[in-house]
């Protein structure tokens, strides 16, 4: 398993990160959208991932009822005594409980969410603590100062962001620099062959400020797994069978053109569509580690195969061209003028 520095920090992480959103039983209020696996299966998945070198686990306080995903990860680390072999990441921001201060990224809330996560995870520190989404109701400086205090206290080692607008991320980095605060070193965002909007502004921002990108939903909710066929309904039991609007977004000329290219390269390399799709992300600038989920050992092994796939520049270009995204204004205008002038 290849390791890379997380952005420009000194922390090294494997290029594949195990997402724990599917760990634990689910209910109607679950953030996990009724997609989960039991404790025993979750334990087996984490142990196998660690054996294969993917000792990087990402969870969040809202995954599962009352933080059940964090509890499962914490119980597994305690039972197997693997805490020091794992880079542990979790997130805060979304609602946990009732009342006006049970959501958001205020100092008042952060000092509570970190303690609650530490308790569930049965650990004395969180290696990468991430705000799950920007909070427009809280000044960015307030959030950053509270997080900086956690680093100084040793409860958190590195800071990251997720689901941020590019302008807010840029503002955050400049505040941290001007106020001498610990800054975000990672950005977790949706990124895949089907969702490439990140390339307009976020990728350049991350390259400029040295943030490592951690893509989530790298298989576009399973669309890139090779299970789907043009002019055919989604197979029974898959996520996109339930998420019809999302499937409709991918059920397009661009989507099937992309799938065809992925399958062709997978056949040439005697690999799988999932592995090829993940490997494409690992070939993109600023990407440090790709977050993937698994509800079974079979899914885990299929995704881990991406670490052994080596795409050529021509392979990447074929996938780039097949999944090309219309940049829209002003990006296409700027690009055309730049070429001419």
Q: Which residues are catalytic?
A: 63
| Structural contact between residues 33 and 309, judged by C-beta atoms closer than 8 angstroms | no
Both tokens of 30, joined, read 């679950």
Cα distance between residue 137 and residue 177, in whole Å: 22
Element (H, E) at 318: helix 313-322
CA-wise closest residue to 42 among 26, 62, 20: 20
Cα distance between residue 9 and residue 183, in whole Å: 10
Side-chain half-sphere of 165: how many Cα atoms within 13 Å?
A: 7
| Structural contact between residues 124 and 77, judged by C-beta atoms closer than 8 angstroms | no
| Structural contact between residues 301 and 28, judged by C-beta atoms closer than 8 angstroms | no
């Amino acid at each position: 398993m290849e390791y890379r520095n997380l952005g420009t920090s000194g922390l090294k992480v494997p290029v594949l990160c195990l997402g724990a959103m599917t760990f634990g039983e689910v209910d109607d209020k679950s953030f996990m959208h009724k997609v989960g696996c039991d404790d025993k299966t979750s334990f087996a998945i984490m142990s196998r991932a660690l054996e294969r070198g993917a000792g990087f686990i990402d969870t969040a306080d809202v995954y599962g009822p009352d933080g059940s995903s964090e509890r499962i990860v914490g119980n597994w680390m305690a039972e197997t005594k693997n805490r020091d072999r794992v880079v542990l990441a979790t997130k805060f921001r979304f609602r946990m409980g009732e009342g006006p201060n049970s959501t958001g990224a205020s100092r008042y809330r952060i000092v509570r969410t970190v303690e609650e996560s530490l308790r569930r995870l049965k650990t004395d520190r969180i290696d990468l603590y991430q705000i799950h989404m920007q909070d427009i109701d809280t000044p960015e400086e307030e959030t950053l100062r509270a997080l900086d205090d956690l680093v100084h206290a040793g409860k958190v080692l590195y800071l990251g962001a997720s689901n941020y607008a590019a302008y807010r991320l840029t503002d955050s980095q400049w505040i941290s620099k001007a106020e001498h605060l610990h800054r975000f070193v990672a950005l977790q965002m949706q990124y895949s062959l089907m969702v490439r909007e990140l390339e307009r502004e976020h990728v350049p921002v991350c390259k400029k400020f040295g943030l490592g990108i951690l893509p989530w939903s790298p298989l576009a909710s399973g669309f890139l797994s090779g299970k789907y066929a043009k002019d055919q309904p989604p197979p029974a039991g898959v996520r996109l069978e339930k998420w019809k609007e999302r499937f409709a977004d991918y059920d397009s000329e661009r989507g099937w053109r992309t799938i065809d290219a992925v399958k062709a390269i997978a056949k040439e390399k005697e690999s799988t569509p999932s592995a090829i799709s993940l490997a494409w992300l690992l070939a993109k600038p600023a990407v440090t580690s790709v977050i993937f989920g698994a509800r079974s050992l079979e899914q885990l092994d299929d995704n881990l195969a991406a670490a052994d796939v080596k795409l050529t520049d021509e392979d990447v270009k074929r996938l780039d061209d097949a999944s090309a995204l219309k940049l829209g204004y002003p990006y296409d205008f700027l690009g055309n003028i730049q070429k001419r002038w």
